[in-house]
Amino acid sequence: MMRSLVALVFLAFISFVVRAELASIDDSELADVTGQSGVYLSGEVSINENGGPLANGYFGDCADATKVCGARISVQTEQNGGWFVLDNIRGSIAFEGLTFQIREINSGFGGDGALFNAQVVEIGLPGTLRFDDFEYTLATSSTERPDDPGFQQVEIMGVEMSGDVTLEGNLLIFPTP
């Protein structure tokens, strides 16, 4: 009990000593301040390590060999056409050094940049992407989901990746008026 009281008194004392206050800065002081904009991201994305979200006759636990395991992305490319799909997506992707910042383009591009003279979003590609048991199937399908009536799928290719991929460069996103 005594230790708790001493700790409480100590924290109360520190809170009075370590006070900060917001203060305005005039233009002449602000002119001496430099900074940098942008975001630096690192992370790992794991997809469907244990199986898909639907437990029905088609999808299920990855340990069950009679079920399909993995995420599915479906895109209908024409209004009444079939579906383009990435199927059985699973594994993990890790990256370090993905950056986002705003950049001014006012020269370069063979002279076109001077005419552009505006800001763009610059996405700095990470130096390395690390794939760990990452896989997917590229296919076409007659329906959005495999459990929809009339489902037929033609698998074009299967991809399995493990290891590092080296990336270099930046991606620029130009605003439109």
Give me the residue label for tokens 């439109």.
176
Per-residue pLDDT tens digits for 108-150: 666 666 677 788 888 888 888 999 999 899 999 888 887 788 8
The predicted model scores a pTM of 0.57
Q: Left, alpha or beta for 133 (phi > 0: left; psi -120 to 50: alpha)?
A: left
Mean pLDDT estimate for the chain: 77
- The predicted pLDDT at position 21 comes to 64
